[in-house]
Amino acid sequence: MDASATIAMKTAATTPSFSASSFFSVSLNPKASPFSLQPHVPLFKPIKCIQSLPPHSNPVKLSNRNCASAFSCSAATFVPSQTDELVRSKLQCLVDEFRSLSEPIHRVKRLLHYAGLLPPLDESARVDSNRVMGCTAQVWLQVKVDGEGKMRFAADSDSEITRGLCSCLIWLLDGSTPEEVLKVKTDDLVALNVGLPGTGRSRVNTWHNVLISMQKRTKILIAEREGKAPFEPFPSLVVTADGVHPKGSYAEAQAKYLFPDELKVDELVHVLKEKKIGVVAHFYMDPEVQGILTAAQKQWPHIYISDSLVMADTAVKMAKAGCQFITVLGVDFMSENVRAILDQAGFSEVGVYRMSNERIGCSLADAAATPAYMKYLEAASSSPPSLHVIYINTKLETKAYAHELVPTITCTSSNVVQTLLQAFSQVPDLNIWYGPDSYMGANIKELFQQMAKMTDEEIAEMHPEHSGESIRSLLPRLHHFEDGTCIVHHLFGHEVVERIKEMYCDAFLTAHLEVPGEMFSLAMEAKRRGMGVVGSTQNILDFIKERVQEALDRNVNDHLQFVLGTESGMVTSIVAAVRHLLGSAGNSSQAAKVTVEIVFPVSSDSISRTSSSPNSVKMGDIILPVVPGVTSGEGCSIHGGCASCPYMKMNSLSSLLKVCHHLPDEGNLLSEYKAEWFKSETPNGKSIADVGCEPILHMRGFQATKKLPEKLVGQILHHQDKGDLKPST
């Protein structure tokens, strides 16, 4: 530190009052410490000027007139006893200044002016550990605590506009107490909507991302000063162009199967080719099985890993390509759907096989197959006009029984919002009854309540036929079942959310629509600033791929951290996609080094077993197998372990090989593995297969045209006699 900087630091420490803005006292000397305090000469003529205040005056009583350009002029003086209100006052001055500049180009010019006042960071501070994630430009942030316990910030960027944004935030918070830094919310910065207009991922997100990084690092430093034990990090996988590096024993268990035994891969490929067997598997599959399947895909094209809806679609394509058998790695309703859709497509001769001779259940599907759910639908049937929107993750039998009570359409987590918006716009005064996922239903309701506060223009971007008035009018007519959950997504509760807020608030956050409301709200906040996604498994995978590709396109060294807010089985597909992108970027000496870290939110009370039984645990009336965990506190359990579905893990590699080797099943050894055509009937004497498929076909019609099918609209409007519902032909 040079002499002038040393004098400035001593002056700041001994003066009884301090500047309204350390922003005015940042040095223009490029050799000075980024934390040093020196006066500067404004480059712009101020719009208004704050006069120095008497030592005991209240800064909050400053009028907007006087605050119009708080830091384009001589600094006001505030006494230390008033610092609790100082940040709020400075924030208001900052808002008033940018609001006074009506033209976007003038606001950008003002940012460029402030960028010139920010001292550059030394090259030694421009390191990956100081990088701020999520910004369109490279941003480096240094944080420290001074001798008086005040927070000191310094930042830099390779973008002048981003430097201006950082400069404003440093003016706002440098020299504040930790409590003051943590009180500022990202919503407080909404009025500072300045950046480059018309860009997809606006630089305005820098306001939010830099603030959150300031707050995270403030928490860490204060915890260290107070001698508090920090939260233990979640396990994670770090993916680079050179390989995969696990952190934590749970991550090691996941990584173990990313590079499978070649002999097992060859064995599986040989039997699949020989017997023309197609494989459809869900994203939540066991990592060992997914590792084998991912490697086998390179030699046999009829292997597909996806969400539940695409599994059935892909099975039809495989049948058209000549596959004589389809093996389904998922829960039972998935194999039911595959069987029914193949039959509807005219491929009843193609055999469909499950991967267990025991029932492979699903807590969500089971919730809809209860008297409570039928009672819920009876209430819907007595409130015409009504539409039942049922999650695809339910049994075919449930869909059939429901459709006879109330006109029904299926949905997925990726199309449910558009389905509801279109239905409300297409049928006047419609009542919609969603089920069975209680968390998803509550999250959708919350999303619509947030939409009701948007402008009509913002709402029209989501659906052109809606406005604030229409969204507010539909809210009382949107109902959701309140007693159905996925046991996996239920794990993303308060403890996990608190740890994410503490340790991963500056990371990219992904969340399935099935997670509890607290996790949903956290992910939605991240989504609003370009740092998160809320949706289906495919939405999550696409989001991660897009962010990685963006980093590669920028061609600068970067570390991207993603919190995986869904079932941990997703990691196999994510790692495969990320490694493909990193590998495609090339290994030239000019290529930037991009690393991607996938974080597994694992509850701290995870244990290897949850009951005295070594192989199962009772949840209500259901006996579930327990996935073996590890003994270091990162294992899987039903009572709060890793997000790993015990039902999905019943689909083992040994079962897959057993089924494949015994096909064709001439000795009838696989009868318990076979997914049979539904021969039973509904209470109205109709085929369960026919009636249960109709809600799925309605959804296919909606996906093709973006409108509810005319037949479904007719059923809604004329549902006077339950016998009016007839299966599609």
List, as one string, the DSSP characters of 646-691: TTGGG--HHHHHHHHHH-S-TT-TTTTTB------B-TTS-BHHHH
Catalytic residue (one of 135, 168, 323, 486)? 135
Beta carbons of 465 and 485 less than 8 angstroms apart? no
Assess whether 135 carries a catalytic annotation: yes
Collapsing DSSP states into helix, strand and coil, what is residue 612? coil
Beta carbons of 174 and 22 less than 8 angstroms apart? yes
Sheet holding 431-435: strands in order across? 408-411, 386-391, 431-435, 478-480
Collapsing DSSP states into helix, strand and coil, what is residue 640? coil
DSSP 243: E
> In sequence order, which residues have a C-beta less than 8 Å from that of residue 339 and are 6 or more positions away?
352, 675, 676, 677
Cα 515 from Cα 488, distance rounded (Å)? 9
Cα 652 from Cα 686, distance rounded (Å)? 36
DSSP 561: E
Q: What is the 3-state secondary structure (H, E, C) of 448-495?
A: HHHHCCCCHHHHHHHCCCCCHHHHHHHHHHEEECCCCCCCCHHHCCHH
- Burial class of residue 521 in the structure, from the number of CB atoms within 10 Å of its CB (0-12 exposed, 13-18 middle, 19+ buried): middle
Among 179, 20, 182, 28, smallest CA distance to 94 is for 20
Cα 431 from Cα 313, distance rounded (Å)? 30
Question: How many residues are recorded in the chain?
Answer: 729
Q: Where are the beta strands (DSSP E) in 284-324?
A: 303-306
Cα 209 from Cα 531, distance rounded (Å)? 8
> Would you please indicate which residues are annotated as catalytic (active-site) residues?
135
